[in-house]
Amino acid sequence: MILSDEKLSAFLDGELDVVEMDTVREAIANDVTVSDRLAALAEVDRVVKVAAEKATAVALPKEIVALLGDERCLSENNVAHVSGEPLDDEKTANQNLANNVSPFPHKVNIADGARREQARWKGASSIAAIAASVAVIAGLVFFNLQGADTSQPSHWANVSSALDSNLSGETSSFESGVTVTPKLSFLNTDFNFCRQAEVTSQDELNVMIACKDKQGDWQLAASKLDELDVNVGQYQTATSARLLEEQLDSMMASAPLNREQEKNAIEATWLSEKAEGVDDEN
């Protein structure tokens, strides 16, 4: 059976009916070239979506607004302390602050081991790192709010279960109404497995990256929230979309895993030292 790129892309987006989804899954399981094409399309898909979608500002959750407000107050207090001038004399305070604060040096991470070739992966800037922290906090707020019902398994436990068990493109649905669909798997620069996934609720889409730590737990590394536009029934991409792309570029030490490599990783519970047939050059 010949599967077109259009059908594989529709499979990644969950746009096929049940019969077609099963047909594609069977083809992926039986033909490694199909799984390789799917992995390549997943990589292309994330780049094309960012280029094609028009960024739309989405209001931050109130928890994040409060956090940023607290940090702003702290920053203003620090300016007053360093400058020794009252805050209403803005010009003098800024001048003294510039004279007393040295530029913060950029850190350069040099990976151990010669087998990594990372020249084509861009490092994140210090500004992007700050924004990444905000994105991760926003993601944690999303997960905490979704898991507020203590009578049910925690939301992150459900997400972790899907990350542990699902191949890319496979969706798990939970009683809370949340669905989890892994989209991409790779090794990061620390040689830990990471996965990009979509976590959807009734009115929100969270695109996240999680990495497996040495203790065998999934840790949230990056996240962006979209809100459902009730007028068109579609998710509108937030301005943090570009940030997530930069996070992927800085984190990835390998091309995305193909189908067979994902199966090996699942058998090894996503612990890189136990996985066979997976390294940083695939």
- DSSP for 193-207, written as a single string: EEEEEEEE-SSEEEE
One-letter identity of residue 154: S
Please list the alpha-helical segments (H only) found in the chain. 5-12, 18-30, 32-52, 62-83, 90-100, 126-146, 155-165, 241-251, 259-267
CA distance 183 to 39: 9
**pLDDT at site 133:** 45
| Among 249, 194, 199, CA closest to 225 | 199
CA distances from 133 to 47, 138, 154, 198, 223 (A): 22, 9, 23, 19, 9
**pLDDT at site 254:** 81
Per the structure block, which two tokens stand in for 208? 């996240």
**pLDDT at site 53:** 52
Per the structure block, which two tokens stand in for 182? 């892994």
CA distance from start to end of the chain: 26
pLDDT in tens, the chain (282 residues): 678 878 877 887 778 888 888 888 888 877 777 777 777 777 666 655 554 454 444 555 565 666 666 656 655 555 454 445 444 555 554 555 445 444 444 333 333 333 343 434 334 334 444 444 444 444 544 454 444 343 445 788 999 999 999 999 999 999 888 999 999 999 999 999 999 998 888 878 888 999 999 889 999 998 887 765 545 445 444 443 454 788 888 899 888 999 999 999 999 999 877 766 555 544
